[in-house]
Structure 1
Amino acid sequence: MKSIKSDLRLYAVTDQRWTGKQSLVDQVEDAIKGGVTCVQLREKSMDDQAFLAEALIIKDLCQRYDIPLFINDNVDVAIACQADGIHVGQEDMASDLVRKRVGPDMLIGVSVHSVAEALIAVENGADCLGYGAMFATATKDDADVLTIEGLRQVCAAVDIPVVAIGGIDHENIGQLAGTGIAGVAIISAIFGASDIEKASRDLKILAEHVVDSDLNNEGGQ
């Protein structure tokens, strides 16, 4: 299995609500220029044809910068655009069934909310996990806010990378230090920023501090 831990440090999840003056492609390119290490294309309202057309453009952009692209939820689109990964939630297709669809090479990320869900995802072949929501977020109104201790327990329970997600921004990201995460997944603090490239650059520094604090603690044990 490909090691993707370093690719997850600053994981940008797209959201069309902030497009306007810039296209989504321009926004994603600014985020990558600022230091984003992974992109997840998330489209809940597009039909498959429009989603695929957009995915092919974003895939080409990510390839040019050597950044992995994950597709959210839609396995057919992920296969058709030859994405690097597919990310599914607990209410989507189970990761073992996803693996049968996408084959051995595509990465699979799974959203989890507990140690039990995390262990099942690992058993079913997940390559990485997303845990959250960590903080209140307007992006997903129905998301329950989970605890930092719960995040720490999930990271300790599995041997694959875990990314924290949900309401993470410049002000609260430091609270995630010491949890064992491989990175942070961020939506509005990147794509809702007036200067996406600068926001990404600043968040990359903060994310590296959070992740490296865990690595330094491991080295001192």
Structure 2
Amino acid sequence: MIKIHIPKHWPYPISSVAEFITKIEHHLFCAKRNNVCSNEFVMKFEMVDEPTISLRFDDSSVLYIDVSIGTNSSNHSFLSQESEPFISLHYVHDFLLQKSNLDSRSANPPAYNKKELLLTSAPNGTDYLISSRKGIQFERLPIDIATHFSWFVVLLALEFTIEDSLLLARSLGHVSRETSWPVKRQDFACPVDWVFDESNVPHCKEQLDSPKPFPSTLSEISLYPVVDNNLWLEQLLQLGVKTIQLRIKNAEKRSLEKAIEEAVQLGKTYQAAVYINDHWQLALKCQAYGVHLGQDDISQENISLLQQANIRLGISTHGYFEILRVYRSYPSYIALGHVFSTTTKNMPSRPQGLYKLALYQKFIEGLYQSLGSKLIPTVAIGGIQLDNAREVYRTGVNSVAVVRAVSSTLPNLSSVVREFEMLKLREVTDVNSN
């Protein structure tokens, strides 16, 4: 259940409280009908003295949401807990886009976790949603602010990322979307990266792309362990694991390079696919089988360098926005996560859950089918264990990445590995028989 706290003294000129609640309930009904969330999902409304809307999640976390029209100022002075997330969405038209405007949203951030977003119009007639250096480019279409904002609130309550909530709210705000869910590329706006000219005026680059697909994995990925040292890596290779990732954080460069060299050699010895997380320059130097990169580590420049090296590339994604940003680079696989709660690393979003995972899998399949290209394998990651992996596979993903589920300290590690491998085989057999 999600509690939505609504100000008793409604401060927004977009609609009345009653109209806002009616829209929220209608949007939630649409989401349930399209299998976006469980039919058991409940939103409860409470009128409060606070001056802005807030979402109260089951884990006791709180998300404040503010909206303004015609200005880029926000109302956040009431916050008593400066660590609580706060999103300020501004509907500003004819806003002069300058590098300083965008930088001000990322440089010298306030002490609390605040996100400022603009819905604005550039002089060239293009609409943008702006968040620091991330943007979403829209065709110039009329926008009903009350519908857009109410969808934005619902999508955040359903734990979509901020960027996904903005993308989907724009798509779902059209009349034709009142009963259906966006599933095709043309249903979505275009994610962009900002570049700046000599006058510091931003221009957008569309999705990252590659002149040809990255090399495919030599064998189908099934179980995909992620480890932080080579002793653990070799232990799993000895048990027959054929795809594995070395993820080492905060290591000194010399020891890091040595570890990557050893991992690459272990992969060759056991004829396995060893991916190196993040450190793509060292991976290229050591002639690694593949690299795995996050969204902040990928750019058109390093895509080109990696493509020239003919190395395999896996990319992390956390929803529609990030899938759309990278799908035209044709990576060797796309990672989808995190599915369940995890403590192995700090995550940029809330857990996706199985409903969203199924949506993203179907969306990726449609993207590559529409391009007439080979489907890109998908890897689900985040909180996956033996007891929930079967449900993960049923969403259609090709493989599962695990960390603690195959810990090197498990006394029955070999049997756990076999169970994961057999689980994959059973799911493939079930799909083929149907």
Deviation at 1:120, TM superposition (A): 2.2
Identity %: 27
- Cα distance in structure 1, aligned partners of 2:376 and 2:311: 15
Q: How does 1:1-221 map to 2 (within 5 A)?
A: 2-4=215-217, 6-15=219-228, 24-94=229-299, 96-104=300-308, 105-142=310-347, 144-158=350-364, 159-192=375-408, 193-214=410-431, 216=432, 220=434
- Cα distance in structure 1, aligned partners of 2:406 and 2:260: 19
- Cα distance in structure 2, aligned partners of 1:142 and 1:114: 13
What secondary structure is seen at the aligned counterpart in 1 of 2:313? strand
C-alpha distance after superposition, 1:180-219 (max 9, x if no partner): 21111111111252343332222222233334444x26xx
C-alpha distance after superposition, 1:61-108 (max 9, x if no partner): 1111111111111111111111111111122233x3322222341111
What secondary structure is seen at the aligned counterpart in 1 of 2:335? strand
C-alpha distance after superposition, 1:143-188 (max 9, x if no partner): 5211212222222222211100011111111111322211111111
- Cα distance in structure 1, aligned partners of 2:218 and 2:363: 16
Q: How many equivalent residue pairs?
A: 208
**Paired letter, 1:166:** G
Mean CA deviation greater in 81-90 or 194-203: 194-203
The structure showing larger relative contact order (alpha-carbon pairs under 8 Å, at least 6 residues apart) is 1
- Cα distance in structure 2, aligned partners of 1:80 and 1:127: 20
* Partners of 2:215 and 2:311 within 8 A in 1: no
* Partners of 2:239 and 2:414 within 8 A in 1: yes
* Partners of 1:180 and 1:211 within 8 A in 2: no
What secondary structure is seen at the aligned counterpart in 1 of 2:355? helix
What secondary structure is seen at the aligned counterpart in 2 of 1:70? strand
Determine which structure has the larger strand proportion and give its number. Answer: 2
**Paired letter, 1:11:** Y
Deviation at 1:5, TM superposition (A): 7.7
- Cα distance in structure 1, aligned partners of 2:423 and 2:400: 10
Deviation at 1:141, TM superposition (A): 4.1
What secondary structure is seen at the aligned counterpart in 2 of 1:174? helix
Deviation at 1:131, TM superposition (A): 0.6
- Cα distance in structure 1, aligned partners of 2:237 and 2:281: 25
C-alpha distance after superposition, 1:46-67 (max 9, x if no partner): 1232111011111111111111
**Paired letter, 1:190:** V
* Partners of 1:169 and 1:189 within 8 A in 2: yes
Mean CA deviation greater in 162-171 or 25-34: 25-34
Mean CA deviation greater in 187-196 or 1-10: 1-10
- Cα distance in structure 2, aligned partners of 1:183 and 1:5: 14
* Partners of 2:330 and 2:376 within 8 A in 1: no
- Cα distance in structure 2, aligned partners of 1:69 and 1:137: 23
Query: What is the root-mean-square deviation of aligned Cα atoms in Å?
Result: 2.1
Give the structure-1-normalised TM-score: 0.84
Runs of 5+ unmatched residues, structure 1:
16-23
Deviation at 1:2, TM superposition (A): 3.6
The 1:213/1:145 distance shift into structure 2, 3 A limit, reads farther
* Partners of 1:177 and 1:213 within 8 A in 2: no
- Cα distance in structure 2, aligned partners of 1:108 and 1:87: 6
Give the structure-2-normalised TM-score: 0.45
Deviation at 1:136, TM superposition (A): 1.3
- Cα distance in structure 1, aligned partners of 2:355 and 2:292: 24
* Partners of 1:12 and 1:185 within 8 A in 2: yes
The 1:38/1:13 distance shift into structure 2, 3 A limit, reads same
Higher radius of gyration, 1 or 2: 2
